[in-house]
Amino acid sequence: MRQYLFFLLLLWSGFYGMKTWGAQEEFLTSQELDAVRDTQEPGKRIVLYLDFAQRRLDAVKANLASQKPNRGQAIQKNLREYYRVLEALNSTIENARDKTIPVDKALGEIEKRGGEFLKYLQSLQAKSSPGWDDYRFTLEEAVDMTQDEIAEAKKGSFPEVKEREAPQLPASPPRR
């Protein structure tokens, strides 16, 4: 009987562990998910993700201004969501490039707004901020990801075209 109960406990814990292990916290609200589903054009979707990223940074500002005792953890959550939004933005850029869809205007928006995001995130790197130890590493990841996205945007819609070399032609036409 003990072996049977042990087996059931082991089976249950394995199932429960598999169920929670693969689950990730959703980083978009249901309204944001609906907006992403409704926006099929990559350029417009990129701008949408920038708006979502701005919301996460606005939440960071609000949490910094609050006097809640767990604000460091709340800031960490907001920065983690910001990072995941930028990952989704990066996937959208890659998909547009794979499908050869020009998104230069949206990439310009990433450069502009991403620069603003980066300045704000870098201003948060003061160790005297309340809850600093809770969100320090997440902040560093967010800064790195923002820098990476700005660098990706600077490559343009079709970076492989810029990397090509012009063909080397002879200085004079061949003789006959």
- Band (pLDDT 50/70/90 cuts) for residue 134 is confident
How many alpha carbons lie under 13 Å from residue 39 in its C-beta half-sphere? Answer: 15
Q: Token pair of 154, please?
A: 């600077």
| pLDDT exceeds cutoff 90 at 8 | no
- Name residues whose C-beta falls within 8 Å of residue 75's C-beta, 6 or more positions apart in sequence: 60, 63, 64, 131, 134, 135
Q: What is the CA radius of gyration of the chain?
A: 23
What's the rounded mean pLDDT across residues 144-151? 96
Give residue 164's pLDDT: 61
- Structure confidence by residue, pLDDT tens digits, 32-85: 999 999 999 999 999 999 999 999 999 999 998 888 888 899 999 999 999 999
- Name residues whose C-beta falls within 8 Å of residue 39's C-beta, 6 or more positions apart in sequence: 45, 48
Which of helix, strand or coil describes residue 83?
helix
User: Distance of CA 18 to CAs 24, 46, 116, 132, 175, Å?
Assistant: 12, 33, 40, 33, 73
Report the percent of the chain where pLDDT is more than 90. Answer: 58
User: Distance of CA 176 to CAs 120, 168, 173, Å?
Assistant: 66, 20, 9
Domain boundaries, the chain: 30-157
Give residue 161's pLDDT: 61
What is the distance between the alpha carbons of residues 116 and 58, in angstroms, rounded to a whole number? 12
- Band (pLDDT 50/70/90 cuts) for residue 169 is confident
